[in-house]
Structure 1
Amino acid sequence: MSSIRTMTLSGLLALVAATAAPAQQRPPIGPYGSPPDAMIFYVAHGPAGACGLGCSDWIAAEGTVQWDSYKRLIAILDRQAGHKLPLVIHSWGGSNLNVAVSMGRILRDHGLDATAGATEVEACAGKSETECFALKRPGGPLDAKVSMPDPACDLACVLMLAGGVHRSLPDGAKVVLTGRSIRNRRAPNVAPEQRESLTVIFGEQYRKYLLEMGVEPALVDIVDGIGEGGRPMVMAPADLARLHIVTSP
């Protein structure tokens, strides 16, 4: 299946991972009907080492991965005029995992590095979420720093992270995996038989993707073991290295 067709289908039927969302939701990114907390992207700048060794400029990705998030990622990469800034991922909420995979492939196609973290914009200090969002929405650059991701790096974060040529996590950062469920944004219910079949199909696609990215596909087995609605699992640091979710320095 072509990547474009995969992105199109991801807008309708997709595997979704639910995680905790911040107490205060951001304004919608688009007009009426736009999903809340949709992922946005903007360029940030900080002191030397702010986003890793020798790194002071990065692209912040924050919010919930929605059906059209890949379009905004492509748009900001197109504006970078060949500069390969790393992506700092901060995802939350019921993210579309198929689109997370598509964005991981986009990162790899562009030869970009990736990490997880929360981008704290200096100009947002003392401002409301709405005011802060208005500052970020044009795409930056904005003076900022990177802090520990909260919520932790979730399954959507891991799938995006996998696309990075070099993958890292801040010291002390956690990866929390949850189960998956099938959602159709145009219809509230999906038949049990279709749900089971699609879960298997998407799972095989994720295994292939992870293998291509250099990540152990056994990650999918761990997620399957959690099951829909199962108790979230905090991954041990040793497992992050064993499964190659992070790469060697």
Structure 2
Amino acid sequence: MTTRLRPLATFCLIVTGFFAALVATASAAAQQKTPEVWPMNFILVRNGDCTVSCVQWISAEGIIKPDTAGQFEKFLRKLKGQKLPVVFQSGGGNVDAALEMGRMIRTAGLETAIGRTQLNGCPMLVPRCPEKMVRNGWSEGEVHSGGAYCFSACPWALAGGQVRAAAANARIAVHQITNGRKKPRMHNGRRDLDEISTVPDPALKQMMSDYFDEMGINSADVFAMMGLATPQGLYNVWDAEALKSGIITKVYSESEEPGYVIGGTDVTDPAAPTPAATPVPAVTPMPDELMHLLP
């Protein structure tokens, strides 16, 4: 016997199927991590024809994981002394790994900067798409300092550069030093307003203080800024504060971007020696429009 569906029943089945597919798609999309929370990786990037003139840099983007420092060490070993700036964009991550990376950068004599890399052929929403990353060679793309960010543990990896730079409209943010454990709640029947706070860690603070001194950063200034952050939030560091504290040593002008300018040699092998880079001053004066921010 043939069963016929009434038009209303047919419509309901179609709608139900559509929403089921929509929910499944939304669920799959929710499980996909955005580029901002991908683990940090490192690639060599250049922009331009290096037989004439090109810009080259090390792009370091993503969340700093406990094993990120080990990956960075292997990456630097492949460069065999080639000195290129490390350009960071990161929401932060593991503090120990960030400090270890900073010391590697200082030992290698590399400069650092805050910048965002856009690889050629990648969509704007995924600017460092994996399919355009060349793991054992040069990726092609552009680097921009404006609008880039370096949060949480990222500034401490950035601190490894003897010269560490950011654009006036880049974002630097820090947070409190804690061990991540929740404070115990009050049991007097009243809500504990500090229940979302975490427990301060004196040992961690001392370790950070020693690192700041090692890197030429004013620890008192940095701890003061950290203290201004909410328990689970970030304090946005002004350019003048970043310069005064030593988190950065240079503010990019509107015409500057991160990276070394290379000319006259086609450098295709990551292990090949890098020609002399365009000199960069150790400290760039604060732009006039920011002078009023200085204390």
Compute the TM-score of the two structures, normalised by the length of structure 2.
0.61
1:134 alignment partner, SS class: helix
CA deviation after TM superposition for structure 1 residue 130, in Å: 11
Give the 5 Å matches for 1:109-188. 109-125=107-123, 129=126, 132-136=129-133, 138-148=135-145, 152-183=149-180
Q: CA deviation at 1:192?
A: 4.8
Amino acid at match of 2:88: I
Distance change (3 Å), C-alpha of 1:242 and 1:220: same
- Residues 166 and 148 of structure 1: is their aligned pair in 2 closer, same or farther, counting only changes over 3 Å? closer
Shift in alpha-carbon separation, 1:236–1:133, aligned structure 2, 3 A:
same
Separation in 2, partners of 1:112, 1:130: 24
State how far apart, in whole Å, the 2-side matches of 1:137 and 1:68 are: 21
Which residue type is aligned with residue 129 of structure 2?
Answer: C
Q: Distance in 1 between matches of 2:167 and 2:157?
A: 16
Distance 1:69 1:90 in 2: 14
Amino acid at match of 1:179: Q
Q: Residues 206 and 220 of structure 1 are in contact (CA less than 8 Å); yes or no, is this contact kept in structure 2?
A: no
Change in Cα spacing, 1:226 to 1:141, as seen in structure 2 (3 Å) is: same
* Alpha-carbon contact 2:39-2:63 (below 8 Å) kept: yes
In 2, the alpha carbon distance for the partners of 1:227 and 1:203 equals: 17
**1:135, CA displacement in angstroms?**
3.0
- Measured after TM superposition, the shift of residue 151 of structure 1 is 6.1
Of 213, 226, 230, the match for 2:229? 226
Q: Counterpart in 2 of 1:25? A: 34
Give 1:211 deviation, angstroms.
0.9
State how far apart, in whole Å, the 1-side matches of 2:212 and 2:54 are.
26
Q: Write the distance in 2 (CA, Å) between the matches of 1:234 and 1:191.
A: 24
Contact 2:147-2:169 within 8 A present in 1 as well: no
Q: 3-state SS of the aligned residue for 1:163?
A: coil
Who is 1:88 aligned against?
87
1:140 to 1:150, Cα distance in 2 relative to 1, 3 A: farther
* Structure of greater Rg: 2
> How far apart, in 2, do the equivalents of 1:227 and 1:115 lie?
26
Read off the aligned partner of 2:44 and give its amino acid letter: V
- Tell me by how many angstroms 1:180 deviates: 4.3
Whether contact under 8 Å (1:123, 1:143) holds in the other structure is no
Aligned residue number for residue 100 of structure 2? 102
Shift of the alpha carbon at 1:220?
2.4
Task: State how far apart, in whole Å, the 1-side matches of 2:67 and 2:231 are.
Answer: 24
Instruction: Name 1:246's counterpart in structure 2.
Output: 248
Identity fraction in percent: 24
Q: CA deviation at 1:196?
A: 3.4
User: What is the deviation of 1:175?
Assistant: 1.4
The whole-number CA distance in structure 2 between the counterparts of 1:129 and 1:236 is 28
Q: Which amino acid aligns with 1:206?
A: M
Aligned amino acid, residue 38 of structure 2: D
Q: Distance in 1 between matches of 2:70 and 2:209?
A: 24
Find the aligned partners of 2:102 and 2:237 in 1 and give their Cα distance: 20
Q: TM-score normalized by structure 1?
A: 0.71
2:176 counterpart SS class: coil
Cα RMSD over matched residues? 3.0
What is the count of residue pairs matched by the alignment? 203
Offset, 1:76: 1.1
TM superposition shift of 1:223:
0.8
* 2:280 counterpart residue number: none
Question: What is the rounded CA distance, in whole Å, between the counterparts of 2:43 and 2:165 in structure 1?
Answer: 20
Assess if the C-alpha contact under 8 Å between 2:62 and 2:90 holds in 1.
yes
Pairwise CA distance, 1:147: 2.1
Structure 2: gaps (5+ residues): 1-31, 185-197, 250-282, 285-295
Distance 1:78 1:41 in 2: 12
